[in-house]
Structure formats: structure tokens, C-alpha cells
């Protein structure tokens, strides 16, 4: 008799949670411990995506085969621990034939579309192996190709989802399967209207889980990673960082947008739209608990967390002509729009504009925002200055613009830091500043000590 699951959970496992056989088996135990988990979204095994990105950028034959051999060793080391490795081994070997072919193509004619096709193989392999791990534990598990339902545009490397199509396709092709088996699928990848593989950007598996949770009206989305929840800042930088047991969607979304790596920046948007709670915990230690992200929390604090976004670029533009500021600004932002440059932080003066550009997020290894065509177009209107090697430090809280003393608290211990730019006021709930990347950690340590310790 088919069991109906009106209230089911989507569980997503990150790369470290499926890094090897032991990790996969532990993650399988988490899935089987909760009858409500019916859909599992997987990242590639740890280290695999980076190797595939390197292959997609084009390598000489010897280096190319070294990378492929390393990839093969990662996957076959896991497969060798299965009771019946030959079955899944043949499917993985077929995927390696694709990887080899695409990597050869990338060495002569690289493209963003080819890169997405190549990089997608990490999730395809991990999900195939994980489904077999579950079957060997006598679970009814079914593998499903996420590209059948995650429909996107063709902005390869950072594709944007088509929400209405995803919901229609998920309800038609994915929902019925949840009643029959635990469904294992891939995060991070999708397809455009022509069936070409796309990717959602680095860390996009979280986003996939949330998109599918929204489309299928899940009761909760669980994000299993290598840390036991969301912390006041990165515990690897500040060991004294404290876990936040309950946090609002807006606070967590702010943290993700400004560099907190525990969640993909877009993850919470689908959950917010359908008011689906998101749990973040460690697959290595489920007993440690985690963080529950929900619409509201009781008594939100003035200061919630500190986030860091590295690999930032400062672009400064100075007008060459004595023109009204509004005309200069209009010309500059028209050029930026034409070249599809997303600018999230801006300051202006009478004849100048300064903006922070984010060099992280897309699948490809290098940020290609500042193209020759863009710089040529800008240079006809203004003097262009570019400064790289910066980090954006963000203090995240609640109603910061209406609270006295915020700037004092933020900058009291930064007299030795060369702050390049400050952003405050556009948002009620954060204060951001740019500084050299090599001073970011010390600034965060001092700031955390003042605000949270």
C-alpha cells in the first residue's frame, strides 16, 4: 500500500557530507532516521567541483589526465566500499567518458555552456552513488535527474530559475515519485529551454533544495553541512563565535548575501515566499543541534552577526566633463546595465561614483565582470580606477540606522585598518565597509570581540 506524505522534508547534503563512503553512509543514516525525508538533494563530493572547474578552463593533455585520474580515484574509492560496486561503477565510468570528452573540448574551444555541462558531472556522480548506498541499506531509493524540473535561463555559470515552470514540472514529474520512494537528486544544476545543462552558481545546491521545497510545498528544508548551524561569524576565523539557535529569514538572508558561506545567498528566498522553515545542522554531529531559520524570532538583538565577502573589487569612476551629476550617473548606469553588471553597493560624489563589485558566486573560476568592452565604454565618459584584493566586512543586525552609537561600535577598534569605503543607510539592518583583504580577519576578530564577547 502506498503511503501518502503530505508533510515531507527536503534534505540537502553538502560536499563534505558526501566526501567519502563513511560520510555518505552517515548521511544515509540521517535520511533513514526521519520518515518525513522524501527528497534528498546532493552536492558533488568535496573537492570534485574545483577539479571539474579546472578542467573546464582548458588544460594540456598531461595535466588534464592527472585531474581526471584524481577525480576517478575520489569516486571509485567510495564505490569500492559498496557490496556490489560493479553495477554503479559502470554508470560512473560512462560519466567519466563524458568528462574526458568535454575536458578535451575545453582545451581547444572553452565556453561557459561547456563549462556548465562539464561541472554538472560532480553532482550526477555523487547522487548516483548515494542512491546505491541507500539501496544497500534496504531503503526504497530512486535517482532523479534534476535537470528535468529545474528550468533556468541560459546565463551559464549563474543561471536564474524560472519559478512557474519549476513548480509545474516538479508537481508533474517529481511529486508522484515521493510517494513511492526516497528520491535522490542533484543540487546546483538545471537546464535551459533547449535542454542545455546550466548551473546556479557556487553553493547552488542549497538554492536547489529551497526551490524544490517551494515548488512541492515541503514542510521544512534541512541543510546538512560541516558546521552545526549558523554562527555569529565564521568559527574558523573567530573560535569564540557563538551559534545562533533561531534566526529570522531576513537576518540569515543578509548574512548569506554578504558572504556567510553556510548558505547560498538565494537559498532563503523560495523558503520566505512559502514560509518554509530551514534547518541548518552538521551531518558530522546531529546531536549538536543547529539553527532554525524562520519568518520571525522573539526579541531580535541589535547586533546579530558579522559576515565577510572576499575577492571584492573597487571601481572608481571620475567624470571627464563638466556635466550635471544626474546626466553623468545616467550614462554610467546605462553602460553598466548594457553589460549586465550587477552592482549592489554604491557611493557617489558630485563628479564621481565608487562601487564594490563581487568577484565570487559564479561557477567559473575567474570573475569576468570587468571586460575589455565594458572598460572601453566607461573610458569614453570617465576616468576609471580599479582596486582589487579587497574584502567587504558587514555588521548585520536590526534597525541599525535608527540606533545611536552603531558607527562608534563598528569602527572603534579599526584605527589600524585602511577602510576604503563605507556603506550605511540604504538598509536598516546592515553596515558594510571595504578594506584590504589581508586585514579582514584581524578586523573581524576585533569587531566580534567588541560586539559579541
Please give the annotated binding residues for substrate, written as ranges.
49, 123
Residue with cell 558579522: 306
Q: Which residues are annotated as a binding site for ATP?
A: 12-15, 225-226, 231, 236, 261-262
State how far the Cα of 224 lies from the Cα of 201, in Å rounded to an integer.
19
Distance CA 294, CA 243 (A): 16
In contact, 272 and 215? CB cutoff 8 Å = no
**CA R_g for the chain:** 23
Facing residues of 278 across strands?
221, 293
Residue 192 in contact with residue 225, Cβ under 8 Å?
no
Burial of 232 (0-12, 13-18, 19+ CB in 10 A): buried
The angle at the Cα of 50, spanning 163 to 42, to the nearest 5 degrees, equals 45
Residue set of the binding site: 12-15, 49, 123, 225-226, 231, 236, 261-262
Distance (Å, rounded) from C-alpha 79 to C-alpha 28? Answer: 15
Which 3-state string (H, E, C) describes 403-418?
Answer: CCCHHHHHHCCCCCCC
Residue 203 backbone class (left: φ over 0; alpha: ψ -120 to 50; beta: rest) = left
d(CA 316, CA 32): 54
Amino acid at each position: 500500500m502506498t503511503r501518502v506524505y503530505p508533510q515531507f522534508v527536503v534534505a540537502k547534503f553538502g560536499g563534505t557530507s558526501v566526501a567519502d563512503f563513511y560520510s555518505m553512509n552517515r548521511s544515509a543514516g540521517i535520511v533513514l532516521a526521519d520518515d518525513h525525508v522524501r527528497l534528498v538533494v546532493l552536492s558533488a563530493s568535496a573537492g570534485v567541483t574545483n577539479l571539474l572547474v579546472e578542467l573546464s578552463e582548458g588544460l594540456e593533455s598531461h595535466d588534464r589526465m592527472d585531474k581526471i585520474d584524481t577525480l576517478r580515484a575520489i569516486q571509485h574509492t567510495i564505490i569500492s566500499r559498496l557490496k556490489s560496486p560493479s553495477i554503479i561503477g559502470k554508470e560512473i565510468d560512462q560519466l567519466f567518458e563524458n568528462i574526458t570528452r568535454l575536458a578535451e573540448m575545453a582545451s581547444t574551444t572553452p565556453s561557459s555552456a561547456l563549462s556548465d555541462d562539464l561541472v554538472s558531472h560532480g553532482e550526477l556522480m555523487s547522487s548516483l552513488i548515494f542512491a546505491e548506498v541507500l539501496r544497500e541499506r534496504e531503503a526504497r531509493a530512486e535517482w532523479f535527474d534534476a535537470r528535468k524540473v529545474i528550468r533556468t535561463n541560459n546565463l551559464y555559470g549563474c543561471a536564474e530559475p524560472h519559478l512557474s515552470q519549476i513548480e509545474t514540472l516538479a508537481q508533474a514529474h517529481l511529486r508522484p515519485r515521493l510517494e513511492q520512494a526516497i528520491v535522490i537528486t542533484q543540487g546546483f544544476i538545471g537546464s535551459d529551454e533547449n535542454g542545455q545543462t546550466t548551473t546556479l552558481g557556487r553553493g547552488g545546491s542549497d538554492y536547489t533544495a529551497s526551490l524544490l521545497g517551494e515548488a512541492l510545498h515541503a514542510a521544512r528544508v534541512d541543510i546538512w553541512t560541516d558546521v552545526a548551524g549558523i554562527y555569529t561569524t565564521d568559527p574558523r576565523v573567530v573560535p569564540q563565535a557563538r551559534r545562533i539557535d533561531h534566526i529570522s529569514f531576513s537576518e540569515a538572508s543578509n548574512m548569506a548575501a554578504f558572504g556567510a558561506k553556510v548558505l547560498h545567498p538565494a537559498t532563503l528566498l523560495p523558503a520566505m515566499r512559502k514560509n518554509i522553515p530551514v534547518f541548518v545542522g552538521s551531518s558530522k554531529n546531529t546531536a549538536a543541534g543547529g539553527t532554525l531559520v524562520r519568518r520571525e524570532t522573539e526579541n531580535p538583538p541589535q547586533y546579530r552577526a558579522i559576515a565577510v565577502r572576499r575577492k571584492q573589487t573597487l571601481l572608481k569612476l571620475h567624470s571627464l566633463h563638466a556635466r550635471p551629476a544626474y546626466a553623468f550617473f545616467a550614462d554610467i548606469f546605462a553602460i553598466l546595465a548594457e553589460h549586465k553588471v550587477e552592482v549592489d553597493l554604491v557611493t557617489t560624489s558630485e563628479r564621481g561614483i565608487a562601487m564594490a563589485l563581487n568577484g565570487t558566486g559564479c561557477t567559473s573560476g575567474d570573475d569576468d565582470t570587468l571586460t575589455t568592452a565594458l572598460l572601453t565604454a566607461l573610458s569614453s565618459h570617465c576616468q576609471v580606477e580599479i582596486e582589487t584584493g579587497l574584502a567587504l566586512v558587514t555588521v548585520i543586525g536590526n534597525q541599525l540606522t535608527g540606533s545611536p552609537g552603531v558607527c562608534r561600535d563598528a569602527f572603534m577598534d579599526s584605527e589600524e585598518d585602511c577602510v576604503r569605503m563605507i556603506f550605511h543607510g540604504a538598509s536598516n539592518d546592515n553596515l558594510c565597509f571595504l578594506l584590504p583583504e589581508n586585514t579582514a580577519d584581524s578586523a573581524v576578530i576585533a569587531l566580534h570581540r567588541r560586539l559579541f564577547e
